[in-house]
Structure 1
Amino acid sequence: MAIFGKLAYSAGVSPGALLLVRFTLAAVLLVILLLARPSLRRVKPDPRAAAAGRTPASRGRVLAIALGLGAVGYASQASLYFAALQRMDASLLSLILYTYPILVTIAAVLLGRDRLTPARGVALAAASGGTLLVLLGAGAVSFDPLGALLGFGSALVYTTYILISDTIVHRLSPVLLSTLVMAGAAGTLAIRAALAGGVDLSFGPAGWFWLACTAIVSTVAAMLAFFAGLERTGPSTAAILSTFEPVVTTALAALILSESLTTLQLTGGALVLASAAVLQIRRNHTRPGRKAPVEQASTGMPANPAERVGAHSAE
């Protein structure tokens, strides 16, 4: 996203136009995908509510939450991030933004959604330390207090966004959830653009090309993968694995923008990669709030064949 954003800015695209076109184009592409695959539009039953003896949220409530995630959460997070990006160095802003894996992990543990296992604690420390080394190796020097405040606000909003997403990600397909989030964000940004007198869309073909890359690669593909992963791993692991983003961005910047990688950055990237390996040591654990299947003493497998299939699917 950072690289496509830089290339779009160099082609004459404004931050307002980038946000509006990015989310609108992503929403249109996802709607087309939903029309082609009607089965993806189904709202699934809530196994968590059944296991906890709670009344599951209605279809309308689940859809409203998904729209709100985009209209309030994602639109606010992106707006705060790009407002901060105009005031401070991108590397330092990323360092502030990537406090969110720590915030998500702490909040998820306090809410009883995840356990702070030794492996997860080591992975969080490695990922956070590695991200710090990668970004400090970029040599960020500019500091703006308001920009820093906006950046931390973006991290707080994204933390809340992930935690709320975790409550409904098991009810909707990644395509339907992403579509609603993108539609909500596009609606909010369209209203804001209208109130501000519109956005300038008079840039040339190069600007539209980079916007298309931003929408397809950094938005549609990224969000589908994130929601699919969030459903399988939980909020803490998903947030920790998201620290790959600044490492990948730095590596691509070295390849595409001819920026060199320092020893400090290479060390940080190795730490982030190590965090993923640590997380894979003990993948097969039961998240709080889910009933563990009854196991047969002789085989160690769930007694119910349907549960056995579900266990293999989760793995």
Structure 2
Amino acid sequence: MPSAFIILAALSWGFISIFTKKLTSYGFTEMEIVTIRVVYALILLFPLTFIQKKQAMFKIKLKHLPFFVGTGLLSIVFFNWCYFTAINQLSVSLAVMLLYTSPAFVAILSYFILKEKLSLKKFFAIIVTITGCTLIAISSSGGATSWNWSGFIIGLGAGLGYALYSIFGKLALKHYDSMTITFYTFLVATVSLAPFFHFWRKMSGFTIENHLYMIGLATVPTVLAYLLYTIGLNKVESSTAAILATMEPVAAILVGIILFKEDIVILQFIGILFILSSVFILSIKRKTKGDLSKRISKEC
């Protein structure tokens, strides 16, 4: 089931706090952690890509390079910069809420760029998803949030950057498979970040445990998550995939409750139910006349 790949990717993204909290305690800044994420992911992807299809998998046409600039630079790098900046200028909860405006951005961009239909069911699922994320955000801050216009606009930029992976990924899938797309996405991101954020200068005296957390960050919420998400995009519309990916905050909250002993309030629980409901709405398929006739013929 293609939707399952999207949901598994979202759940994998939801585990990112396990690794980021630990790496932050080691003294890394937010953008250094992002750089660790993409550099280590590229290191992991190189042998995987080479083994699967050897050198043929590294070949792309120059005219398709904009697709990977889109997924690597405009999506991953731009999204992370906007997200962390919004967290610094606004409350974390409001930044998360603005990040999850991405399904709305994807639905609109898909309509104009990918010519996907914006059905009533999809539109309703977007509203339900945003409502759920809003409830989680409000409850996380006790209803009090800091505010400034620059932070708000940059926060919306995080939602846009998050959405752009679905758009550029869908365009790239017309020419390349998921492994190639993921590899070049992180290659572009690494080239864009590594010259400016020298995280390795802080690695003197690191133990095996330190390195395992860095590798874990690159494996679970990065390589695995993006591969699953890109595979899912093969069969799922970009706008639908973006909505299904909002299972991530659900996973993140569960990780917080189970591992970090964070409390959950009633509004957060209701918000989780809203997000789960949007996934259920998208899973409902309308029976067509053709489907009905096939069922009748089988029964006869």
TM-score (norm 2): 0.80
Q: Does 1:126 align with 2:128?
A: yes
Q: Does 1:151 align with 2:166?
A: no
Q: Does 1:231 align with 2:246?
A: no
2:178 aligns to what? 174
- Pick the aligned partner of 1:27 from 42, 46, 53: 42
Distance 2:286 2:80 in 1: 32
2:272 aligns to what? 269
- Aligned ranges for residues 1-315 of structure 1 at < 5 Å? 1-38=16-53, 41-42=56-57, 59-63=61-65, 65-111=67-113, 113-139=115-141, 141-145=144-148, 146-193=150-197, 200-202=202-204, 204-205=206-207, 206-282=209-285
Asked whether the equivalents of residues 72 and 185 of structure 2 are also in contact (C-alpha less than 8 Å), the reply is: yes
Report the count of equivalent residues.
Answer: 274
Identity %: 24
Say what the alpha-carbon RMSD is for the aligned residues.
Answer: 2.9
Aligned to 1:137, the other structure's residue is in SS state: helix
Distance 1:73 1:6 in 2: 23
Asked whether the equivalents of residues 68 and 168 of structure 2 are also in contact (C-alpha less than 8 Å), the reply is: no
Distance 1:149 1:176 in 2: 33
Alpha-carbon distance, 1:249 to partner: 0.6
Please identify which structure carries the higher helix content: 2
Higher relative contact order at CA 8 Å, sep ≥6: structure 1 or structure 2? 2
Change in 2 beyond 3 A, CA 1:143/1:4: farther
Alpha-carbon distance, 1:209 to partner: 3.2
Distance 1:277 1:105 in 2: 18
Asked whether the equivalents of residues 40 and 173 of structure 1 are also in contact (C-alpha less than 8 Å), the reply is: no
List alignment gaps of at least 5 residues for structure 1: 45-57, 286-294, 301-315
List alignment gaps of at least 5 residues for structure 2: 1-15, 296-300
Distance 1:92 1:110 in 2: 28
Distance 1:215 1:232 in 2: 25
